[in-house]
Each structure stands twice: as structure tokens, then as C-alpha cells.
Structure 1
Amino acid sequence: MEDKDSASGVPRFVGRRTVRAGEVAVGGDAPGSALAPGSRVVNRTTVNNVLPEVRWPLRMGAVPPLASSFQPRPSLRALVEAARADGQDVVLAQPAESGRVLVGEGGVGKSQLAASYYLASGADLAVWTTAKGGTGQVVADFAEAAGRIRAPGADGEDERADARALLEWLQATDRSWLVVIDDVEDLDQVLDWWPCPHPRGWVLATTRQRKALAAGRTRVDVDVFTEAEAHAYLHQRAAGLPDHPGTCSDCGCSAASVASLLGRLPLALSHAAAYLDNNGDITPAAYARMLAEPGRILAEVLPGDGADGYARAVHTTMLINLDAVQAQEAHPGLARAVLDIVARLDPNGSPAALWTDPEALAALTGPGPRWWQRLSRPRTSRAIPRAIPGLRGVHADQIRACLLLLDRYSLTTHQPPGENEDLGLVRIHALTARAARDTTPEKQRHPLARRAADALLALWPDHGRDPVLQQTLRANAAAMHEVTTPALYHPDAHTVLFEAGTSLGQTGQVTAARDYYRTLTDATIHRLGPDHHDTLTARYNLAWWRGVVGDVQGAVDELAALLPDQIRVLGPDHPDTLSTRHNLAWCRGEAGDVQGAANELAALLPDRVRVLGPDHHDTLTARYNLARWRGVVGDVQGAVDELAALLSDQIRVLGPDHPDTLSTRHNLAWWRGVVGDVQGAVDEFAALLPDRIRVLGPDHPYTLSTRHNLARWRGEAGDVQGAVDELAALLTDQIRVLGPDHQNTLSNRHNLARWRGEAGHVQGAVDELAALLSDQIRVLGPDHPDTLSTRHNLAWWRGVVGDVQGAVDEFAALLPDRIRVLGPDHPSTLSTRHNLARWRGEAGDVQGAVDELAALLSDQIRVLGPDHPDALSTRHHLARWRGQAGDAASAAEA
């Protein structure tokens, strides 16, 4: 397996932030993968313990934690329990469906009550999902749940089909279950995904809708706290309220006034309680008078989503608490500025490192463009947002103290790293964030958004590092895009938009990356115009990720359409134009035109030398990939010679420890193995591995790739059991570092199955490849080149295990798919033709094998050349089968 990582010089991602060439490569079979005696195959695998048994009970979903002093609300619980006990007693429901719905306005505690049921549930399966914005998340969560519980029919190929499989499992199972659907915006839309009634399962949903429900669903109206609940909550949480007999209203207790002025809204009461708890010198009565001040009700900044008077309460209490924080802060304006930044990020948690990492902190606290920059470099200065007055010049210790104050007053909460979280997070309630954004002065909104994006970008780790942080940063980038969209496209598309999309693909979510860039392309065309540089960049990345998910011809078509636009707008010598030529050549090679790829890269190289110089990184990358494609077309020794010359230049220009230098060593070792120096390949990989561990770390994907190939070539050198043992140990580390669905993890499962078969466990190879195929279809899709490769090798091993006709049938079914996806001249397509002919001969159709191999040889000579290893292998097998057909001369040749 070649080292297709960023250091290897595979085509780069082009984004606003510089990304080195070669970060990702389209998948494809290794050269020389014809499967027959005298040839070698790179396979991929699974192991029996990759998918552990389901451990019950199983909990799924991001359920919100219960609030401090959570009120159990017994009257509401009684209604819920009565509905559960009665089942079908409630009218206005559709037959044969069940569930209970909590209805109310924002901030009244619907989700909290639902969360209390979820957290206390003793059900075997509890699923928490949300229908905010439609049913997309519901379908996604149901599909994930189906995969986790191994629901019959959930194969990962179709998300909606998998979600249906969960519904069928819920209806048929004898296990207990609870499904919580939070924040349903359209009940009618959710009905198609509502689980059917079950004696041991039930559905709990929350919604703001006020409408009648069909049979089987009881509507329980959730309003604000009752007086007793509101008063009890304040007495439990707030300081300064006296103990007294009787009710607060009867005794004139200030809790009654505070609760009344805040409309008994749970969210607003939590702010009030935090204020009273942190200000012992202000009595509840004084606080009630503050609430009653006319100026505290900010009607002009109410949200436009019909939240009635509750938003007034949130705005009021937020600003009162903010006043208290500001009175205690050492740096004027800091608390408001920090709150405004947090309010533009993910309410569920933004990284606390934004306020401690030096680069991220500099992005938040640095100065704006200087006067001389605005005069001398106006375009450059446009990209530097204005300074945020409250943040300029502050240091980490001041911000840490400010975050503690905001936490004390319940404006934000800080959750440090712990057993269940790898990151420290700063959280904010969504309504508090909305109140903060709505009260931010208009002129400050743009620089706040751009600087928050700058800070996220500064914190983004390199490819392959810290997947938990990357996932958190992507969630924050998405949340910021939702609430600050215009700012992120002015004066141009912020780099964080590109980083978020590329991060998806680099963590294995290649389909999501393709869809992301499709959306970003549409957005940049709409907001910036079709000829803007960022629009061209988005189109480039969309084309690239189409290729990565297996639509190589689609990538070729899009890059071919992009290239003339780049030449027209940017010029023929612009680095992005040259990069598109580079990647267009690469994708054409992956689509089957291997000679065309070599020719185009050969034509590109002198242009890169002329424009960028012989020692530029992109020039060295072009040399790297030119060597690769020359090897693929059959000039294997030429590939070795060119990579050896390149390595010398990289050591001189980049240094011996540069990732690209290490990657060239990796691929030079690979091609030496292909050319026949198998022990040399083993020795070079073994020498490279400690250098990669030292430079990149033991868990870096490139280090894992070197371990993979060292094991592979040890197997080729005869140590088959050693290859099995090393790949099995590697698989455990890949699952831990990359996850079970990462493309490299799946690739290792493929190869582990191959070497287990070579070690004599042939049926095990068949079983593991069959299990792998199911996962690849789910993760990569049925048309991904790796999926097709697994089908190819599964057919091969079925023939080896004795199912010769099954091998013929599977190769025959695979061939039209490879022609459709990769094209008739792709080496992998030719390899499938080779093996289809071979197994037809094994099944008794000797003349058919002769005819097909003769036709194949002609095409291989035309496409690959007469000296390519695959063409030589076909000549060998053609002679053999001609001998079987009675041609003695051909038998002698074989």
C-alpha cells in the first residue's frame, strides 16, 4: 500500500490557510494486483473482535445534564405516568401509534423533564435525538442506533433504510426501550419516524407546537413553574430568603415577587438565583425592585421567534447578572467581550483552550489593522478585523478570573477535563447566548465573529492529531456559521470554513466532506460570485472529495471544468491553477488513464520549475507523483530511480526529518519491493519506522502507515505469520487512534484478511472480507474503489476455498461495476478481467479463459505497455490455458 498521506506529495487541498501538497490521495488498488499464480495482491481485512457484542443497557445521544436544584415537578410526572399506564386512552391520535409529548415554550423545562426520564430510565436501550430543523438528525441518530445494536437490515448503505431497520427492531424486540425526541418543530414531519407501540417501549418528545395529537399520544402541557415549584427552586438555590411557615405569597416572601416578575420561567429563575447567591449584600427584595425597573425590560431586542415574554425575562436577568460581573472585573469591558465571543460558538461547549492557547488568545486579543496598513495595504488590512475593546491587551490570567465570575453568575459554565471529557469546555445556555447576541452593538458584531473564527483556526490541530478537539472545533464552526453567516463571508470566506470541511474528510468522514463542500460552493457563489477566489477554491475541494469518495470520473469532470475558469480569472501560472492541473492528472490516473496521468505530470513539471523554482515544495511534489505514475504504467525501476534522486533533493531542501522526506523514503521502499527487492523494502521500512515515531509520534497516521507496509513486506519476504501478528496489533492501535470506520482502519482489515488466508486460514479470510465489505458499503459506499477491491478479493478467496463457480459469478458481477466506476482501462478493471478469465478456466471453461486472456493482453499492452508486470502475468496465464486447451507449444512456453 503506497503512503498516500499529505507528506507523500499526493494532491493538496487548497484553502484559505496554506495546506501542504499531498495531504490526501484518492484510493485505488496497488499496482501489480492481478490475482493469479505468479502475482501478488494487496488485500484488506476485518477481525472478529472489531465489532464487540452489544452490551446492555445501551445509551445513545447528547442528553443535557440536569440543572442544579432540578425540580421533579410531580404534577407533570403524574400526567406522564398516567399516559404511560393508559396507553391508548387519549383521543386525536393515529391508530397503532403511541408516545407522549411535552408541549411548552422555550426555557420552561421541557428538555429538563425529558432528560430526567432518560437519565433515570432502566430500559435496555435509551436513545436521545433532536428534531430541531427537521428529521435529518432523527434519521441519523436512528441509523447510528441501528448499527450499534446490529438491527437486522442495517447495513450502512442507506441511512434512511438503517433508521427504518431500527423502527422494525423496536417493534419486534422483547427488550425494553425509551426514545426521546427533543425539540420537535413539526410534529407531522416526525410521524414517519415515530416508533410503533410496544408493551415494553415508549416515546417521549418535546415541542413548542400547540396542536392536537392523534390517538396513542397524550399531550401534557408544560408551562412555567407553578408558584410552589418556583418558590421552592429559589429557596433551594438563592441566598437571603428567610425560612417561614406557609406559602411565600401568604408570608410576603420576596421569592414570590422575584418569581412573579420573571414569569416563573425556569431559565430566568436560574439567573436570578445565581445573582442572589453571589451578592449577599443585595436582598431578594432589592433584587425584585431591580427587576421591576422599566429600563430593564428590553422590548426592542426581543427575538423574532414568538417566545412571548420569556425572552424579556432572559434579557433582563442576563443583563442584571452581567452588571454584577462587570462591577467586580478588573479589566473594564472584558466580561461582556468574553460573553459575546462564547455566545457566537457552540452552546454545548466551546474549547476552554481558546482562552489559554497563545495563538488563539492572540487572535482574540490582538490589535486591529494599523493606520499605515489601511493606507498602504488596503486589501490586506480588510482581512484584519477591528480590535475588540474589552479584549485588547488582556492576558490569560485576567480571562481566567473573568470566566470564573461568569460561571458564578450562571452566565456561562466551565467544565474542566475529567473522566468523561478530554477537553475543558465553556458552555452557555442557548437563550442566554441569544440574549447576548441580540444586545451586542451592531458595529461590534462583525469583528467578534471574525476574531472568534480566527481563534478556532489557531486552535485547529494538524491532520491526524486530536480527533476529539477537531470534532469540537467543527461543531463550533457550524454553530458560528449558523448565527454569524454574513460576517464569515465578508470581506471573503473565512479560512475556518475550509478547515472544517477538510477536517471532516481527514478524519474519515469523506462523504460528509464532499457534501460540505457542495454546500460551501453554493454559498460562495451566492455571496461572493462565481469568479471569486474562494468560490474557485470551494469548487476545487468539492472535486477532490468527490474523487476520494469513489466518484473519480466526477472529480475529473469538475476539475476539467474548473481549470479554464482558473486560467481566465487567476492566470495560467497561478499556483492554484498549477495545483488543479496536478490533481486533474492524478484523478485521471485513478480513473484509469494512467499513461495520461504520467504525461500530464511530465508536462506540468517544467511549468512548476519555471514559475516556482526547482526547490519549491509543489515542484518536489510534482516530481514525487510523476515517479509514482511512471511506476504504475510499468516503469518500476524508473520510479525507484526518480524517487532516489528526489530523496537527495528533499534532504538538501527540507531536511532529513521533514514529513515529505520521510514519505519519499516510505514510497521508495515500497517501489523497491515492487521491483523485486523484497528484503530491501523490509529493511528500509524497518529503518524508517523509528524516525517516523521520533518525528511524528507513535500514533500519527503516517507512522501507522509505515507499520502497515513493514508488516506487508515482511509477509512478502516469507514471514507470513509475522505479517498477521503485526497487522493484528496495528489494527488495535488504528481503532483506538483513528476509529473503526476510518479508511486506513478498513484498509488494514482488508490486508489482515489477506495474510490470514496466506497463512492457511482461508475460510477465515472469506469470513473477514465478507464482514469488511458490509462496513465499507456503510462507510464508503458501494462504488468506492476500496469497496470494489474488497469484492474482488472476496471473490478470489472464495475460489481458493473451493467455491470456484461462486468466484466466477462474483467476478462477473463486479466487472460491470468496475467499468462503470473506474472505466474500462483502469488497472483494477483489467485485473478483474484477468481473474474472471482465470476462474472461468478453473471452472472448466478453458477456451473461454484463453479467449478472454487474449483479449485482455491486447488491452494491457495498449494501456500499460508490453513490459508491465500485469501484462507479463497475463501472457504467462494465457500460455498456461492454451496448454490446457491442447496447444503443446504454449504449454512449453508457460
Structure 2
Amino acid sequence: MPSLNAHTAISAQHGGLAVGSAGSVTFHAPPVREVWPRQIGLVPGRADCFQHREAADLLDRAVAEGETAVVCQLLSGTGGVGKTQLAAHYARTAWEAGEVDLLMWINASSREAITTAYARAGTEVAGADPSDPEEAIGRLLTWLQTTERRWLVVLDDLGDPGDLHGLWPPARRRGAALVTTRRRDAALSGPGRRRIDIGLFSPGESVDYLTAKLASVQRDDEPAQIAALAEDLGHLPLALAQAVTYLIDLGLSCADYRTRLADRTRELADVVPERGNLPDDHHDVIAATWSLSIERADALRPQGLARPVLELASVLDPNGIPTEVLTAPPVLNSLAITRRAMVLKRGDRKKVSRVVTEQEAADALRCLHRLSLVDFVPGARHETVRVHHLVQRATREALMRDGRADDDGAGGRDLSGLLVRLDAETAAEALEYVWPVEERDDTLMAALQANAKAVADHVPVTAAAGIDGSHYRLGLRLGEAGHAAEARQHFERLLAGLSVGAKGAERGKDIEHLFVRHNIAWWQMEAGDPAGAATAFERLLADKEDVLGAATPSTFATRYGLARARGESGDPAAAVAAFEALLADRLDALTYRTRSFSLRRTVRFAQRAADRQMAVRMEARSGATDRSPGALPQWEPPAPSARYGLAWWRGMAGDPVGAACELESLLAEQGDLLAAFDPLRLATRHACAHWKAEAGDPGRAILLLTELLADQTGILGPEHPQTLATRHTLARWKGAVGDRGRALVLLTELLADQTRILGPEHPQTLVTRRTLACGQSRSAGEDV
């Protein structure tokens, strides 16, 4: 970039440029200096290790496509994506190539800044009177409209589209305008204007930038760690620049920096340079980059809702939040409470609506989208909201700082952790609300599962705080959806949190510990480790009997789990004996629990169909008040009755006829108690068909399994473990009745899916691999 000297840059001093006399209406404009080319305003310097990117080529092509008038290009994107650097690169290139006679670089953060710059330029270029800013602005716009000089006007960081009302540079073949902004308002559109959305670096661009920056100081870090760091920072150019500067200054490796970045006890401001040492003339540390955008979004109608919506979004999955989650009744209730609290805090006496509507929540999302804080595309199925994970982190940190501000040091309360927890619990309730009841939508289910995992990471659990019902629901939902390993990890995190602050004698034996331990053992068994689960259930049973007693539903739930785990570990006789003991005691609490659980679920489903908001309130009230030991099983994984377990393991022990008869009887009773789509009833249908085949009626079993597979695919989804198990059973019996070719095809397809979904060492995968190998060897023997 050429140096700016006195004749190419406007002076900050205007003395002597105009002459006037007091009381006179006649002014003599200074002569226009015919010095060309001319640059007004300082173009930002080239960033260190400036990274050429596809967006720059896109801008060049967009400008080149202008026909009768060069299109005004608007570079739009969230803070930190490099809009200013792209505009500066384009302006600098055009200037150095001699393609413009006048280059104006204007800070457009406010209307005052724009008009001040326009007035100065009108004085310098068009000979306007400096004492009359409005006349100077008019003279400049007229000059731009009529001159044969080639000009480029860059309006950097436009804060509000309204600030350019009446001030847009004219569209002319000889001129061009370039605007950078975080806004995506419809008001920015118009004749001769084109918006270019500027996104993140591509992974390759991120790696190239970091590598070049490190190489400039003779650093040669491990490529894998450089790529991982770029991923951790979400390929955000601003974050990359500040992070690499920080790690170079402190002599950290990329791996060391990633460790600091992942440390939740540190804020983003702690892992970037201090303000005085920021690279490339940055004005703010990364954490403060979006604060002004949030304030502006929150000021848009509906006022006061954009910020709390963003705070809720900050504890969900950054890669995609279904819009129905952020507009669900639990969220609307939370937003209404927040809005009323803000009004009371301001001392505003005007009446505020006691409710926030779904439309208002959606409008708040659109406000965030307009300020480029989220990406929100309305109208699509399961409209998805995406938000950069660093924006999420900065939002959570700001919320925690607000909470700490409530601690005045004189008896005030530190609400920092509580505020994030409340958002996470509200998000969890919203996920529970929108979780499909009967229909199956794989796209929605995948998004909900990802969001459930994200929320679980942001719900702090301690012995003092205890566990909210939303914690349990998230874990159960993950497990019921077929993600047993993730469900186990979720409950292990809860157990680790409960252990913080728990006294030694109480550790692991209070009610919440016992229940969480039951879930860990249960989902350990479902994930394919029955032997480990049996050991966990044995230890848990002794503690439950000691704390809760032997005759509580929670204790019998653990007895059921232990009996099943023993059977799946290879001891069906022990499983039969354990289930017989449950029935002999006439305390088959699991049967009653299953009935009450399923009836409660059926009632909840009906309530949702009639009045979903009331259902949420009743569910929340139930979870908050019913905390007696006997009530705890409402949060345990739904399990078939002891009759089911006994029938299954009798079959495994050599009595298939008795197993089939008992399961057929149980299935008839379940028809009166459970909905057709209830997973427990689906499991009984599978077991009944299996033992019918083992008892000598494979033809009937194949018909039953075919019907069941269609129902499971529609209700549970094609990747659910129960669905996969039915596919195996169906393929096996097709081979047994002589259709070996079809059976081998089905088993081959199933093995590929199980390996991908469950893993190569999962028991179901191993069983399918053995069955397929046996079938292939038999077919080979027949061919011989």
C-alpha cells in the first residue's frame, strides 16, 4: 500500500479552507485542489499473514458483473469473520492498480460518523462550505452522481441500515460502493445493491493462516494440532488471529493452548492478548466482539427478548437447534419471567404482557439473525438455528458475569452458576416437550439427541444443588432413542457432580446417588456390558436394601436389572431363579410400576394432544414435589415386568413352548395397558415371535416379525437397537425355513449397520457376525 502523504489524504485541520464574515450569508468556498488520485480516510493496514480466501474472489466477480451501473456490494456477516479486511484488500488492490481516482474509507458505525465524513469529503472534493455540513453532504452526493472521475466509497461497519437513509452513494458506471455490516435487514436491499454473506474460513484457509503465522516466527508446530486448534476455534478469523498471537507471545504449543481454551474455569478473555497487544489493529478482544450486536438485537421489537433467547441457545447444540425447541412453552414461560423481571428492575410502571407468544420468540430469533448472531432460515421443515460455539461461550460468560454482579459483597447472592443452570434446565424441558411421542422423524430425532448431549454438558450438578428432573429425562431420552453409551456417560457425569461436596459416609448412598447408579448400571447393560452391569447391580442392591428397604419399587427395579444382567452374562438358570423369587414374593413391583409408568405416559401423550402447555406444567409440578423413595422409579428406565423376564429366560433355559405361552398371555394384558407404540409392548412382541419360532412355528413368527419391523422402524427408527435386533431375528428365521440367499443378504446389510451404529465389539454385532459366518459356511458346503 502506498504511503499516505499530505496531497493524497485529507487533513484533519480545516482552518483556512473557508472564509466568512459574521452576519453575512455569503461564503466563499475554497478552491478544489485538482490533485488526483485522491484518498480520503485511512484504509486499515494489511493484516499480518493476510489469508487469501474464496470470499475475495467472490467479491471480485460480483463487482465485475456490473452492467449499466456497478452494483453496491454489501459484505454481511457476524463480528470477526473478516469483512473489514476483505473490503480493505479490495480497496487497496483497486487503489494500487490505479483503477480509482477517489477512494473514500468511512467509519459507518453511526449516522453521525457517516455525515461527518461525508461533510469533510464534500469540502475537500466538491469545494463545499465547511461551515454548512448539510450543504457539503449534498455537494458530495451530487459530485459522485455527475463526475467522470472513477470513485470507490467504502462504508465500514454499518451499524443500522437507517443510518444510510438518504446517504447511499449513487449507482453509477464510474463509481462503486462497498458496505460492510453485521446486519441482514431487508432495508439493506434495493436497486443496484447486492449482499454477499461472508462466513468463516474454510478448514484449509484456517490451517494455512495458522501455519503461515507460526512460520513467521520460526515455529513449526505439529500439523494435526494446528488443524485441531482451527477446529476448536470454529475457523473464525478473529479468534484465530488473537489465539495464535497469544500462544506465540507466551511460547505455548498449539496443544498447550488448546488445553487452556478447553478449561472452563478460564474465560475467553483469559486466552487472548490484552487490549494493548491485540494483532492487526483489533479494537476488542474476541469475547467483546458481539456485545454491541447483542444490545442492538435486544433493542429491536419485541424488545428485551433477543438476549434471553441467545442465552438459551448458548446451552444447546451450535450446529443446529430446531426452532420448535426455542419456541416451546417452557421457553415462552422463561422469556415471560425474564421480561417481567427486566421491567421491574428498570422501575418501569407500564403494563407488560404476562405471556410471550410463540410468534414473539420467533421474531426474537429473526432479530438475532438480522444482527448475524445466529443463522436462522424460517419456512424450512424443522427450521434450524445455528450459532457459532464461541458466540455461545461468550454469551454464557457474560451471563455469569451478570450473575456475579448481583453479589455486592454485603450479603448479595452470587447467581452466576444458577443463571446458566436455569437456562440449561429450561432448554432441557423444551427438548422434552418437543421430543416425538408417536411419529418418527429421523432428522428431528438426530437434532434433538445432539441438543440433549449439549444441554447435559451445561447443567452443573453438585451434592448441594441436587438433580433436577430434566437431568433424568435427558438421560432416559438418550437411552430410549438407542444411544445407551451416551446415556451411561450422561449419568456418570451426574454421579461425578453429585460426589462434589458429598461427605464420605454419604457418598454413593443417598437417594439421588442410588438412582443415578441404577441408571449407569442399566445403560451399561444396554450398551453391551452385562457382566460389568451385573457387578454394579449387586453392589447397588445391597445399598438400596440398606437405605430404602427391600420392599420398594426402586429396590425391585435393581433386582430386575441384576436378574437380566446375569442371564445376558451367560447364566440363564440364575436369571430364572431370580425372576421366580420376584414372583414368589408376590412383590412384583415392576409389573405395577410398568403399568403406572405406561399409563402416566399415555395420559401425558393425550394431554399433549389436547393442551401441550398444561402437560408441561403438570410434568414439572410432578417432578418437583414427588420425591419420596417409592416415587423415584418414575425416573428409572422403563423395563418389562418380571413375568417378561421370567418367560424369556425360561426359554433360554430350554422351555420355548412355556416362554411363548407366557409372553402371548402378557402381550394380551399389555394391549389393555400400553399404547401400541410403547417400546415395552414392542419388546414383548419381539420376544413372543422369537419363542414361537423356537417352539416350532417359524412361519407364524416370520409374519409377526415382519409386521413388528415395520412398526419399530416407524416408531423407534431404523437405527434403534430393538429394530436391529428384530432384523437379526427375522433374517435368522428366513434362513431356517429355507430362504438362505435372502437371509445372507439381510444379515450382511445388518452387520454393516450394527458395526457402524453399535460398534464392532457390541454383543449384538458379534452375534450377527457369527450367524452370518455359519450361514455362509452352510451355503458353501451345499455348493460343494
The interval holding the TM-score normalised by the smaller chain is 0.5 to 0.7
Report the Cα distance in structure 2 between the residues aligned to 1:489 and 1:270, rounded to whole angstroms.
47
Aligned residue runs from structure 1 range 62-141, under 5 A: 113=53
Read off the aligned partner of 1:635 and give its amino acid letter: D
Say if 2:395 is the partner of 1:395: no
Deviations 1:136-168 (A, max 9, x none): xxxxxxxxxxxxxxxxxxxxxxxxxxxxxxxxx
Q: 3-state SS of the aligned residue for 1:436?
A: helix
Report how far residue 395 of structure 1 moved.
1.6
Deviations 1:385-424 (A, max 9, x none): xxxx999621212223333333223333312354xxx521
| Contact preservation (8 Å) 1:750, 1:769 | no
Q: What does residue 376 of structure 2 align with?
A: 414
| Contact preservation (8 Å) 1:627, 1:642 | yes
Change (3 A) 1:247 1:79: farther
Report how far residue 581 of structure 1 moved.
0.6
Report the Cα distance in structure 2 between the residues aligned to 1:453 and 1:114, rounded to whole angstroms.
39
- For 2:396, which of 437, 446, 454 is the aligned residue? 437
| Contact preservation (8 Å) 2:594, 2:640 | yes
Report the Cα distance in structure 2 between the residues aligned to 1:273 and 1:249, rounded to whole angstroms.
32
Q: What does residue 551 of structure 2 align with?
A: 573
Change (3 A) 1:307 1:358: same
Q: 3-state SS of the aligned residue for 2:460?
A: helix
Change (3 A) 1:412 1:248: farther
Report how far residue 628 of structure 1 moved.
1.9
Report the Cα distance in structure 2 between the residues aligned to 1:512 and 1:337, rounded to whole angstroms.
29
Q: What does residue 428 of structure 1 align with?
A: 387
Report how far residue 673 of structure 1 moved.
3.7
Report how far residue 556 of structure 1 moved.
1.0
| Contact preservation (8 Å) 1:650, 1:656 | no
Aligned residue runs from structure 1 range 212-361, under 5 A: 225=85, 228-229=88-89, 270-271=181-182, 303-306=269-272, 308-309=274-275, 312=284, 318-330=290-302, 333-358=304-329, 361=332
| Contact preservation (8 Å) 1:450, 1:488 | no
Q: What does residue 451 of structure 2 align with?
A: 476
Q: What does residue 718 of structure 2 align with?
A: 738
Report how far residue 585 of structure 1 moved.
0.2
Report the Cα distance in structure 2 between the residues aligned to 1:649 and 1:116, rounded to whole angstroms.
68
Change (3 A) 1:527 1:249: farther
Report how far residue 591 of structure 1 moved.
1.2
Read off the aligned partner of 2:312 and give its amino acid letter: I
Q: What does residue 715 of structure 2 align with?
A: 700
Q: What does residue 770 of structure 2 align with?
A: 792
| Contact preservation (8 Å) 2:315, 2:392 | yes
- For 1:486, which of 448, 460, 469 is the aligned residue? 460
Change (3 A) 1:623 1:439: same
Report how far residue 586 of structure 1 moved.
0.7
- For 1:598, which of 557, 576, 586 is the aligned residue? 576
Change (3 A) 1:527 1:307: farther
Deviations 1:427-446 (A, max 9, x none): 33444444433433313714
Read off the aligned partner of 2:383 and give its amino acid letter: G
Q: 3-state SS of the aligned residue for 2:544?
A: helix
Read off the aligned partner of 1:576 and give its amino acid letter: S
Report the Cα distance in structure 2 between the residues aligned to 1:115 and 1:783, rounded to whole angstroms.
45
Report the Cα distance in structure 1 between the residues aligned to 2:736 and 2:686, rounded to whole angstroms.
26
| Contact preservation (8 Å) 1:249, 1:256 | no
Larger Rg: 2
| Contact preservation (8 Å) 1:636, 1:674 | yes
| Contact preservation (8 Å) 1:270, 1:410 | no
- For 2:727, which of 731, 738, 748 is the aligned residue? 748
Q: What does residue 247 of structure 2 align with?
A: none
Say if 2:524 is the partner of 1:541: no
Report the Cα distance in structure 1 between the residues aligned to 2:700 and 2:86, rounded to whole angstroms.
79
Q: 3-state SS of the aligned residue for 1:439?
A: helix
Deviations 1:777-797 (A, max 9, x none): 565445433333234334433
Please say which of residues 233-242 and 673-682 is displaced more in the overlay: 233-242
Report how far residue 752 of structure 1 moved.
3.9
Report the Cα distance in structure 2 between the residues aligned to 1:348 and 1:655, rounded to whole angstroms.
34
Q: 3-state SS of the aligned residue for 1:303?
A: helix
Read off the aligned partner of 2:460 and give its amino acid letter: P
Q: What RMSD, in angstroms, separates the aligned Cα atoms of the two structures? A: 5.5
Aligned residue runs from structure 1 range 474-553, under 5 A: 474-482=449-457, 484-486=458-460, 491-526=465-500, 529-553=507-531
Report the Cα distance in structure 2 between the residues aligned to 1:447 and 1:562, rounded to whole angstroms.
31
Change (3 A) 1:600 1:507: same
Report the Cα distance in structure 2 between the residues aligned to 1:557 and 1:390, rounded to whole angstroms.
57
Report the Cα distance in structure 2 between the residues aligned to 1:782 and 1:406, rounded to whole angstroms.
44
Change (3 A) 1:759 1:624: closer
Say if 2:696 is the partner of 1:676: yes
Read off the aligned partner of 1:447 and give its amino acid letter: L
Report the Cα distance in structure 1 between the residues aligned to 2:83 and 2:725, rounded to whole angstroms.
50
Q: 3-state SS of the aligned residue for 2:269?
A: coil
Report the Cα distance in structure 1 between the residues aligned to 2:726 and 2:155, rounded to whole angstroms.
66
Report the Cα distance in structure 2 between the residues aligned to 1:274 and 1:357, rounded to whole angstroms.
26
Read off the aligned partner of 1:748 and give its amino acid letter: R
- For 1:466, which of 432, 436, 441 is the aligned residue? 441
Q: What does residue 447 of structure 1 align with?
A: 422
Read off the aligned partner of 2:269 and give its amino acid letter: P
Report how far residue 317 of structure 1 moved.
6.8
Change (3 A) 1:747 1:681: closer
Deviations 1:452-492 (A, max 9, x none): 3322232233498333333323433444454x443798732
| Contact preservation (8 Å) 2:575, 2:649 | yes
| Contact preservation (8 Å) 1:504, 1:513 | yes
Aligned residue runs from structure 1 range 8-27, under 5 A: none
Change (3 A) 1:223 1:616: closer
Please say which of residues 772-781 and 434-443 is displaced more in the overlay: 772-781
Deviations 1:294-340 (A, max 9, x none): xxxxxxx9832225446847676745444444444356x33332232
Deviations 1:250-291 (A, max 9, x none): 989999896699xxxxxx96447879959xxxxxxxxxxxxx
Read off the aligned partner of 1:329 and give its amino acid letter: R
Q: What does residue 32 of structure 1 align with?
A: none
Give the alignment's TM-score, normalised by structure 1: 0.46
Report how far residue 353 of structure 1 moved.
0.3
Q: 3-state SS of the aligned residue for 2:376?
A: strand
Report the Cα distance in structure 2 between the residues aligned to 1:511 and 1:595, rounded to whole angstroms.
28
Change (3 A) 1:349 1:230: farther
Q: What does residue 555 of structure 1 align with?
A: 533
Read off the aligned partner of 1:624 and give its amino acid letter: Y
Change (3 A) 1:608 1:349: farther
Report how far residue 750 of structure 1 moved.
7.9
Read off the aligned partner of 1:459 and give its amino acid letter: V
| Contact preservation (8 Å) 2:534, 2:565 | yes
Identity, % of aligned positions: 28
Report how far residue 597 of structure 1 moved.
0.7
Give the alignment's TM-score, normalised by structure 2: 0.52
Change (3 A) 1:477 1:660: closer
Q: What does residue 76 of structure 2 align with?
A: none
- For 1:637, which of 643, 657, 660 is the aligned residue? 657
Deviations 1:55-76 (A, max 9, x none): xxxxxxxxxxxxxxxxxx9988
Change (3 A) 1:246 1:506: farther
Q: 3-state SS of the aligned residue for 1:592?
A: coil
Read off the aligned partner of 2:499 and give its amino acid letter: I
